[in-house]
Amino acid sequence: MVVGLQITKNKDKYKRLQSLIDTSQLKGISFIHISDYKSLKKNLKDLDILVCYGITPEFFKYRSDKLKWIHIGASGVEDSLFNDVLKSRVMITNAKGINSKPVAEFIMSQILYFAKRFNDCEKFKNNKIWNQWDIAKKTKQLSDSTLGIIGYGEIGKELSRLAKSFSMKVVATRRLQKKTENKKFVDALIPVDEIDSILKKSDYLSIACPLTPSTRGMINKNIFTKMKKNAVVINTSRGSIVNEEDLIEAIEKKEIYGAALDVFSAEPLNPSSKLFKLDTVFLSPHISGNFSKYQELMIKQFSNMLIKFINKKALKNRVCKKRLY
């Protein structure tokens, strides 16, 4: 069995990452360094398994019937779920769970940024005007606030745990709800068709659902008009879930207070975007899910999955080709 690893161009880094795979339980398996797309095109027909950060129609057509499994080393896989992949027998898995803690921490930092008026503190640093009480009277205590979470998966659950450590009230929704769902860190887990009740209560609304045809553009003007005037929208999922033009309009009209955006409908974000000019919008360049040990953890996760695959056990992170996540 041949496994192609398209995880880095650097040979030394590849060797270090490949060494993290537990080969003691993987007899008869060889690994190929896929350093670039030229290498991918050359070797794809010989691979049984491919580990990469995404696949395109241009290269997927070079596969052979040998290819059984593509592991995407990221949580979001929407760009790799094109028709040829969906129609094929190739199993798709993702790296869900690796970055749930870092993303949840990032979201909490954004909540604190707005609650404690760090933007006003930055203005104080720049203009040097001592306005202690003007800033202080606008700050909020998190125990008096409600966090709404759209998408109660790995990230949503970790976020709710952190929010509860600040004594926040947490209300969440997810499309598929299990009867045995752990609700330890959530005050209410609400069906998607009752999302309005979350919008009306939330001081902070975190978008933590995957991008699918049903979630594309779902956070739009119809959502913003149902939210509190002081509400903040936080998006660390996928930019296209939020209609950016509607968001800008809602902030300008003061229908909501502001937003923290780590992802955008088009990346890199166009320097001419109005988002750069809004005082109550915090922007970051898609960094919430990345951290120094990401690749190491991704490879270790894949190693564990590969052992299960060889032993014909079910893989937890298998992507459903019908639900598209």
User: Is residue 71 flagged as an active site residue?
Assistant: no
State the burial class of residue 29 (Cβ atoms within 10 Å of its Cβ: 0-12, 13-18, 19+).
middle
Q: Which of 267, 296, 318, 323 is catalytic?
A: 267
CA dist., res. 270 & res. 283, Å (int): 12
User: Is residue 238 flagged as an active site residue?
Assistant: yes
User: Is residue 175 flagged as an active site residue?
Assistant: no
What letters, b where the CB count within 10 A reaches 16 and e where it falls short, cover 199-208?
bebbbbbbbb
Residue 217 gets the label, from left (phi > 0), alpha (psi -120 to 50) or beta, of: left
**Closest by Cα among 175, 170, 201 to 188:** 170
CA dist., res. 15 & res. 18, Å (int): 5
Q: Which of 16, 175, 216, 286 is catalytic?
A: 286
Do residues 255 and 233 make contact, with C-beta atoms less than 8 angstroms apart?
A: no
Q: Which of 117, 158, 238, 244 is catalytic?
A: 238
Residue 265 neighbours by CB under 8 Å, 6+ apart:
239, 240, 242, 244
State the burial class of residue 229 (Cβ atoms within 10 Å of its Cβ: 0-12, 13-18, 19+).
exposed
3-state secondary structure of 115: helix
Q: Please name the amino acid found at residue 54.
A: G
Provide the annotated active-site residues: 238, 267, 286
